Chain A
Amino acid sequence: MLGLIVLLTLGSVWVALPGTTLDVGGFKERHPIREGLDLQGGLQVLMEARPADGGSVDKSTLDGTRDTLERRVNALGVNEPLIQTRGGDQIVVELPGISDPEQAIAVLQQTAQLEVVDPAGYSLAAGMQVQTSLGQQREAQNAAATPSPVASPASSPAPSATAAEGEVGPVLGAVTPTPTAESNANGPVFTTIISGTDLKDAYATTDQTGAWVVAFELESGAAEKFYDYTSQHIGQQIGFVLDGTVISAPVLRNAISSQGQIDGMTATEAQNLALQLKAGALGVPLEVVSSQTVGPSLGQDSVDRSLIAGIIGLGAVALFMILYYRIPGMMAVLALLIYTAITLALYKLIPVTLTLPGIAGFILSIGMAVDANVLIFARLKEEIRSGKTLPRAIEAGFDHAWPSIRDSNISTMITCAILYWFGQFTGATIITGFALTLFVGVAVSLFTAITVTRTLLRIMVDSGMIRNKWWLGIGRVEMQALAGD
């Protein structure tokens, strides 16, 4: 048992040590301590789906939307972003350590509805505001509902589709369209052929000639629909519309079913268009319902303060334990240090996102870990007073203390589970972080109190180090009483 404890302790200390001290094979580098938003600063946005038809969103649409947001966020180059669906219609995005929250929000808000429309003989150009059949439906819905500030692509940098007439190869070729006066705000309503949900993927790449193109892929159902349309309109223009703005209006070269290309642009333009197509692939418009930004210096300040508070708290508890329980108190403090190492290691491995309340939860769990030891020692004293020998008293003390340790800790774990569930709903990792740290803490304390403290005490007794019962915190008068028995 002692060997196991020593191994576990060494392993935990190794994992828990900060930085890449004694790192082997990059293991520690892959398991850093995760700091929550409130500790390292950053942005958290909670968005709610507002489906165009006013109905509810199905799970696959929401999941698809989340995936799209994830690709977008990854393009921003944020470390450890968190994008999760919450409940049936919400997505929470956390971008820790981001320096410019305004830009990040702008990128998220660009997410809008993509449509491919039939120009019906009109000439379309990038940047034009147009009305679409799907857009009309949506407006009617929005007018009925509350006016929602749905993400607007106010500053969407539409890539100009101006390019040289394509040669052979590409399926679609961008042309320089000539805008006509007919396409004003109150002009024609264009028919939507396919929309963002039908788009599977879009990416910037180069064709055989080395020119930049945007390749896209459609879902199978939409591919059929698209083929029907494109096969009848070869040589005509087709319009890519993002939230009512034309972003590209190339001319059809061939019929397209599931895969196609848009050519005639620079590398930057291709990448921007690919990003916009993917963003447009959000099947459902999103509204920002709550957001939280924390400045980086504010977070650092909190870390420092909590660290100091933690060290002072731990020190004071250790002092109290040693003064009151003497040798067992020292064993308990040692067990507490092992407990701290194991818990921190688990935080890194699970991983638990450490937030400010999370640190509070950890410190609270230290208090509860001590409680298990206090319970055992109180029992130990009683058993000794009742005349048992030391080794027998230790065993009896642990056995009798166990039911109350078990029952009380399980009730705390029940609370943690409910807290975790509550946190999932409120969209606050702050609360889930607290629940998770407290749960892990309580679980580990069950282990350390029963195995570590017990083993350490047994070793002390077996080695004959504790001869005098005073070391166990039993007063002189009581000792005389014992001697008299």
Chain B
Amino acid sequence: MEHIASRRNTWFAISAALLIPCILALAIHGLNFGIDFTGGSAWEIQYTDSVDTEDIVSVLAANGLPNSRVQQVGGDSEHRYLIRTAEIREGSAEKQKLTDALATLGTLNPSGESLNTVGASVGNSIRNRSVLAVAAASVGILLYIAFAFRNTQRPFLYGIAAIVAMLHDALIVLGIFAILGWLFDVEVDALFITALLTIIGFSVHDTIVVFDRIRENLVNRAANSFEDIVNYSIAQTLVRSVNTSLTVVITLLALYLFGGSSTKNFVLALLIGVIAGTYSSIFNASQILVAWETHEIQNVFNRILRRRQTPSTTTRAA
């Protein structure tokens, strides 16, 4: 079997190659926040026949909603259109006026209609609470891992390694959605935050299984060096990791391909996250443990710190 742990720099490089475009996309374009975060309305209407999206846009513009975006959703034969625009209130005279105007384009099916309106103040508080939720989840998991691994030499190292791997997965999902938002106008909603939190849970779930093996092999002194113990543990859990991910990926793929259109992006985020989570638990989280134990991480930090200092004071410590 390939020695996975000794090639850790390759795995870190692959992660970095994935992360750089993700971070760039996030920094340059950012996420396309949906109405859950910005406020506004998402109005889905259904016609009995095909209607040109441009026509819907101009009808809306003529009725006081100039910056609406209209998109066909669902299958071609369903004639469903999603309008994203400023706040429209359910039951308001304005909405009635808009409905009447849209009905001039074709026959509307009232039972296929949905309207989601979010006030701007609500949107802001959701954004703040999302950040809080992710932070709370991280702290909760860190503490639990530190507790579960309290018998090892460095319980918090395991917690931190798991959190780093988790952030890696979250960043990849965020980055890919930033890219999708950039290229295909994909929006991020409250459901996306749900997906992100689930990925965090899954990523840690996967990492813990590998760590648990390391813990056990350390007790049994299954190999001489820490590196070999980690490698042995990964080899033991590899089949399980891949199989588990496969079953989750199978179910998610089924949901993605056959499920409703409203959960497509949600399922896609989960899919990306699960795959990233499997990679990071094998190739990142455990390798961070090794890199720490072999003082590689400390050396990198030391070198950076030394460079910051004046060259004259540089003394090489053993």
Contact = CB atoms under 8 A, between A and B. Distances in A.
Interface of A: 38, 41, 43, 45-46, 48, 101-106, 109, 149, 288-298, 301-302, 305-306, 308-310, 312-314, 316-317, 320-321, 324, 356-357, 360-361, 363-364, 366-368, 370-371, 374-375, 378, 382, 400, 403-404, 407-412, 414-419, 421-423, 425-428, 430-431, 434-435, 438
Contact of B247 (A289, A301, A370, A430): A370
Given A411-B205, A418-B133, A317 B251 contact: yes
Contacts of B145: 407, 411
Given A309-B257, A438-B198, A374 B251 contact: no
A430 B201 contact: no
A105 B263 contact: no
A472 to B, nearest CB: 14
Contact of B258 (A45, A309, A408, A428): A309
Given A46-B122, A378-B239, A411-B141, A291 B115 contact: yes
A305 B255 CA distance: 9
B115 A367 contact: no
Interface in B146-188: 148
A288 B89 CA distance: 8
A425 B109 CA distance: 33
Contacts of B91: 101-106, 109
Given A310-B254, A403-B212, A419 B197 contact: yes
A305 B260 contact: yes
A421 B134 CA distance: 12
B133 A291 contact: no
A222 to B, nearest CB: 33
A316 B44 CA distance: 33
Interface of B: 36, 44, 46, 89-91, 95-96, 109-119, 121-122, 125-126, 129-130, 132-133, 136-137, 140-141, 144-145, 148, 190-191, 193-194, 197-198, 200-202, 204-206, 208-209, 212-213, 216, 236-237, 239-240, 243-244, 246-248, 250-255, 257-260, 262-263, 266-267, 270
Contacts of A428: 190
Given A289-B121, A375-B240, A411-B145, A302 B260 contact: yes
B90 A360 contact: no
Contacts of A416: 201
Most buried by B among A41, A45, A295: A295
B90 A101 contact: yes
Given A102-B91, A309-B254, A430-B191, A415 B247 contact: no
Contact of A313 (B126, B193, B250): B250
